[in-house]
A and B are shown apart, each in its own frame.
Chain A
Amino acid sequence: MSALGASLPRPRRRSATGGAGGLTIGVTTLWLSLIVLLPMAALVDRSLQDGLGTFWHAASSRQAVSALRFTVLISLAVTAVNAVMGTVIAWVLARDSFRGKRLVNGLIDLPFALPTIVAGLVLLALYGNAIAYTKWAVLLALLFVTLPFVVRAVQPVLIELDTEMEQAAYSLGASKATTFRRIVLPNLVPAIVSGAALAFARAVGEFGSVTLISGNKPFDTQVSSVYAYKQLESDNVTGAAAVSVVLLVVSLLVLMGLRLFESRVGRRG
């Protein structure tokens, strides 16, 4: 197709910005700058207010580093679980049919609609005895609040997916597993990674449900967001900003890494 396309006269209005107009890109940039970058810039500015030394001191304290490590590791774990289970659930919702499927489909978004307080309290009530105030409690709370991400990212792709190639594979004798692995999965990878990236980001920033169920034990179950809160409550705004900036940079790196992984493994349409 592309070879053919290249030899045809180019259609008009194909701008230097590709398939998106200049205004689209302009508006997008303005929007992102105003809503996201502006507050972030203020945060970075505040964190450096007392100099680089203070920044480093705040960001490298034992508790800060420990909280960061715990946060990133547990968020990666949550992301991995979500990538797998989210895809399974999306598959079942998009391709399978059973009684009550519509209801289940509707419930998927509830972790977002329910205030984190309620989520924490209910999880505590249900599973508290077994796992309260341990790492598992944090994992559970995070799995709850990130549930919809991968599911809802993969679902639309699965719905739009042309099943021609799958049919072809089946008729050539391929098993379901092989067909999935070779044909369907590469198409889903961008969506899975997209959802997984969001799940990671959300896990890293989660505060409400985790504070209730984790016990916030320093060096054990304390996440970075709680540590930042402690700094704020102790009037150490610079420290809170510093810790948050570090967390953001780490998140950015992980997110970019995930996207890189996506382009290696997924099929670029």
Chain B
Amino acid sequence: MATVYKNFLSSDVVNTRTLLHEAIPVTGSLVSGTYGPSDVALGSEPHIKTYSHGMFESVYDYPFLSSSANHIFDITCGYAGTSALSGASNTQNSKKISIYNQMAQVLMGYDHTGTIRLFDQDGDITSGTKMKECYFMNFSRLLVKDEIKKGTFALELGVVPAFTETGDCLAKRIKLTDSSGSNGYFVNSPAGEYGILFAQTTDDGDATLSTAQLHEETITSQVSIATSHKAAGLIFYQAGIAVISGSVFNANDTHDGLLDNAVDTLILGGKTAGNHGFDTITGSTVAVMANGLRNRVYDLQFDNTTELNSAIHFCRVNHNEFNYSANPTYLNGSKIRVKGNNRKNLPVSYITSVGLYSADRELLAVAKLSEPLKKDPTTELTLKVRLDY
């Protein structure tokens, strides 16, 4: 029961922000192998949801018909209308262009003429190489929360050219990371901040890493040299969308891709005659392309961020305050019980809770102490009450 109301001064209340993170691992076994290639054909797994419109497919962590299943991410792909791959006779040509345009207008916006900006390889939207053919991975808000933590995104892909559903295509791998994300991100997107995904070799299939899987990459002391890392996509932190350039799946000589010529262009499955790598998109549906990417995901992980806002109230108890209680048990025969019949003894009280009141003295919140605090005129206290919201 409140006996004394004390007003907060401006210096007694401070608003703070705490960042809570979650480490989200999404291993390849979860993306493509949970219900295993040996059991079910790629694309027919019960945790993969496809749609009759055929514009994307969804990946769950459990059979999606179960209420326990969580949506992890969607996969889709597309190309710009100005891409060399665009062609009226392509499979789902208009849908692929629409997907690219929709993603680009949301994530990159428009230029001064009202034209949709294309995805830019280096973040300098005024010039430079554009990514006209892309995969898109839209992560669930359940996992991304407020945003993907900068500098934590990593996607490891198998780069053995042959297409297999047995996991053999993961024997050699490259990793796409936003290694410059923590301080090298860009803010010129209408969808928030984004970073560049850089590619590097992580496993060349040998006992020691020595063979570069990427064009013009240098490996020294079993480490891929950072300065040679090539841009392979973009990661939009607040939107929770990864844009993977189609060049990641192409060899440098034949398809102007990122992979080393010795590696060769990858086969993504569902290939049409003469089309390898991302060129497969011309004769394949979005679903086939999505399965092709899933089949090559070895590991995917990122950390998310949730902002927790707090108001900290410093409740200051001066030496001459709160030494008395209105509880009936405080008195015994009209005398303060704890004085022990000696009026010269100091009054004592035990603080058990702190009430926060509005200006018109409505009780808004009560903070409880884990144990009562002894208070007498010889002590002063500051109780820190934190309210998270």
The reply to whether chain A is a binding partner of chain B is no
Enumerate chain A interface residues (CB-CB to B < 8 A): none
Q: Give chain B's interface residues, CB within 8 Å of chain A.
A: none
